[in-house]
Amino acid sequence: MRMRSKGRGRTGFGLLLLLGAVAPAAAESAAARFAVEAKALEREVTAARAAWQEQYRLYDELLAAAQKLEGAFANADATAAELRGLEDRYSVALDAAYRQARLTSDSRRRVYDAMDRLADAGRRVEEEKQAEFAVPAPGGLWRIEVAGANLTGLMRLRLDGALVSGDYRLSNGRHGSMSGTWAAGRLDLVRVDSQGGRDTSLIAEVDVRRGTLVGSWQRFELASGGPSAGQWSGVLLGPDDEVPELSEE
């Protein structure tokens, strides 16, 4: 009746080590939950091993009680009182072994539950890690504002990999096209005005999850009249497949 626990111990810690490789790159909340569940699994595995050891001890006591009873039962000189006493001790050992077997089984089931929670936490870590690489590009229709110039407008951007193209229209009637690049959360654009030609560079840091951008602009010709540099911002209004060309009259 002797049962072994080493295989199950390796299973719990094997899953712990396997999923532990995912945690360092994850977002803080998912990684923190993973760490909590990993500790919980370790505690449950330790408790299950202790339960196994107690079960082994009680199995040994039960086996010893059974052997004594069997030996006495085969002894023609044994009295009924002696056999009854050995039978009682055997019954006590049997009940104790049975109770501990149930407790050990419950302890193992808590390990399985902890493994499930850890696996779920590992999936959440992986999902958050993948989400970091699946950040949507800032293509679409933007409402833009030029700080200090009392200008607002619309800007439509399209993306092809890291390349950006689009058009714009401002509240003062100026319109034209945009081109540039998108990388690491930053837009680098050049404005080509329908009247003034290639006249301004713009940069912006984009929060794609909030749909906002904030940046600065700089004219190529500083003596063109009016401000030569400043700040601009924008709010994403919608995807680029739902808006018309903005530079058309």
Predicted confidence (pLDDT) per residue in 10-20, tens digit: 444 443 333 34
Residues 230 and 146 occupy one common structural domain? yes
Among candidates 115, 103, 106, which has minimal Cα distance to 11?
115
Any domain includes 191: yes
Q: Name the pLDDT band for 138 (thresholds 50, 70, 90).
A: confident
pTM listed for this prediction: 0.48
Predicted confidence (pLDDT) per residue in 81-91, tens digit: 999 999 999 99
Any domain includes 248: no
Q: Name the pLDDT band for 156 (thresholds 50, 70, 90).
A: very high
The Cα–Cα gap between 93 and 58 comes to: 7
Could you give the percent of the chain with pLDDT greater than 70? Answer: 80
Any domain includes 32: yes
How many domains does one find in the chain?
2
**pLDDT above 90: residue 97:** yes
Residues 98 and 151 occupy one common structural domain? no
Residues 11 and 119 occupy one common structural domain? yes
Q: Name the pLDDT band for 3 (thresholds 50, 70, 90).
A: very low
Mean pLDDT confidence for 38-67? 96
Any domain includes 103: yes
Host domain of residue 79 = 6-132
